[in-house]
Structure 1
């Protein structure tokens, strides 16, 4: 039986490296693995459906599910996860000292529908009482002007979302005090180049994020792996085959990170970091699959709906290929 050739676009993560090198091969599939920056992958997949399979923003994916002809179906593989307290930056001119000070302020976001700002707004609401509709959002390029929303969104009137000027950037605006704060997946460059003007809302973000995890059990999911729906409908077995391969590739990384004879990464205290992570989050701290992530996914879909991005709260069953709901261990 011939193998199915599928194109796959994703960033070069350690957890997908074995798929890139061919050390792990999905059953019945030859992957044409293309390593691309996440922004390029998202844009090309969402706008043009250029790949058979691709890493995709979880928020953008959820937006597509609300359309008449949803073009993708996801598998419960999460190549990117990130605690997001570290992604809230404030201007020294804003007078913001604590989360409640954000109410009524001018907030910059690269795009309103990005996954990171969805998580940040939801966390600020649940943990600190900051209503997502209590601020004004300004969206546009963080470092280069002219960025637009990848997907057209129609928000309830209570959410105030305004484009920045065609020559403006969010990074410059927060440093100059034209924005009071920024919610973003990347630190604005002025946070590093002008630290006297831009700082984090939570300077000790690691301790804050560990406390958040201890309280909620949530390690925020940023990205899913999405299959183009026409590819999936022709060969529905690919969902399970891909899922199994991603799990196997990730298992290799868990093992490699514990090897102390020669460090896998350039982090000098890699072993200490891994041991601390295990003590805080458990041996499988980056779980794939439905069962171990249901609460995280349902929290995100609630935020997505409450923030006007989904007409209803999506269910886990709405989001993932049914072939991947049977849990197994490699």
Structure 2
């Protein structure tokens, strides 16, 4: 019997590698796994729906739900999770000595709708007295000029936002003091180069992120896996098949990470750091599914709506294919 052929565009992750190497195969499916940078995958999927299955920014996916016939349906598979306090940078002379000082400042961001930035704007508002509309935003390319929003946005008038000049980059503007701060998923080049004019807003990132988790229980979700709507409508069974395979691949990655015979990654204290993460975040700290992630998703959806990116407040249950959130009981 022939199997369904699907192309899956995704990053090069330990938690999905078993699918890329075909040591785990989804029931009834042959996958062509394309290892692509996330920005390329997101742009090509949002603009052209090039792949049958893809990793996608959680924010971009929720933005896509505005369409009358939304082009994707998601699985509760979170290929990227990350605390983002370390994603806030400032110019050394901008008068920013704490996160609270961002109020009234000019903050750059490659795109307003980036998931990492949605999270940080929400966290700044909830915990640091910096409402999202107390800041002026500028958008554009971080390292290369000309970046645009991958999805059209219809933002409320309370959002003060404009594009930087076409010949400039956010990283250079931050280093020169033309903007006060930058919120970005990728480390800006001046910081990488050790430029003393650029530093992080949260000076002790790990302590800040641990304090945030201790207070909220939230390990922020960045990316989901989506199936193109036309594929799902023709073959609804692929949602459960892919979800089961992705879950198995994650469990295999957990086991590989705890193999102490030889380190798989170039981190000298990988094993004790893993044990510390499990003790602090729980054994299944990178959990999939709705159970255990409902509050995290609900918080993100609230931020997304408050910041003008979604027209209504979505519920976590509405985001995912029901075939991937329900299973048979034996």
Whether TM exceeds 0.5 here: the answer is yes
Q: Give ranges in structure 2 of 5+ residues lacking alignment.
A: none
1:48, CA displacement in angstroms?
0.5
Does the CA contact (< 8 Å) of 2:5 and 2:29 recur in 1? Answer: yes
Q: Distance in 2 between matches of 1:70 and 1:54?
A: 15
Structure-2 change in CA distance of 1:227 and 1:258 (3 Å): same
The aligned counterpart of 2:113 is 113
Q: Say which is worse superposed, 220-229 or 63-72, in terms of deviation.
A: 63-72
Does the CA contact (< 8 Å) of 1:73 and 1:319 recur in 2? Answer: yes
The aligned counterpart of 2:80 is 80
Q: SS of the counterpart of 2:296? A: helix
Does the CA contact (< 8 Å) of 2:301 and 2:313 recur in 1? Answer: yes
Q: Number of residues paired by the alignment?
A: 329
Q: Distance in 2 between matches of 1:195 and 1:147?
A: 24
The aligned counterpart of 2:215 is 215
Equivalent residue runs for 1:58-207 within 5 Å:
58-207=58-207
1:101, CA displacement in angstroms?
0.8
Q: SS of the counterpart of 2:33? A: strand
**What do you get for the CA RMSD once the two structures are aligned?**
1.1
Q: Distance in 2 between matches of 1:317 and 1:232?
A: 17
The aligned counterpart of 1:241 is 241
Q: Give ranges in structure 1 of 5+ residues lacking alignment.
A: none
The aligned counterpart of 2:44 is 44
1:195, CA displacement in angstroms?
3.0
Q: Distance in 2 between matches of 1:250 and 1:170?
A: 35
Q: Say which is worse superposed, 110-119 or 261-270, in terms of deviation.
A: 261-270
Does the CA contact (< 8 Å) of 1:291 and 1:327 recur in 2? Answer: no
1:45, CA displacement in angstroms?
0.7
1:292, CA displacement in angstroms?
1.3
Does the CA contact (< 8 Å) of 1:289 and 1:327 recur in 2? Answer: no
Q: Say which is worse superposed, 291-300 or 318-327, in terms of deviation.
A: 318-327
1:328, CA displacement in angstroms?
8.4
Whether 2:28 is the aligned partner of 1:28: answer yes
Whether 2:292 is the aligned partner of 1:292: answer yes
The aligned counterpart of 2:267 is 267
Runs of 4+ in 1 over 6 A off after TM superposition: none
Does the CA contact (< 8 Å) of 1:57 and 1:115 recur in 2? Answer: yes
Q: Distance in 2 between matches of 1:93 and 1:164?
A: 20
The aligned counterpart of 2:258 is 258
Q: Deviations over 1:87-119 (max 9, x none)?
A: 010101201011111111000000001101000
TM-score normalised by the chain length of structure 1: 0.98
Q: SS of the counterpart of 2:289? A: coil
Q: SS of the counterpart of 1:186? A: coil
Q: Distance in 1 between matches of 2:45 and 2:247?
A: 23
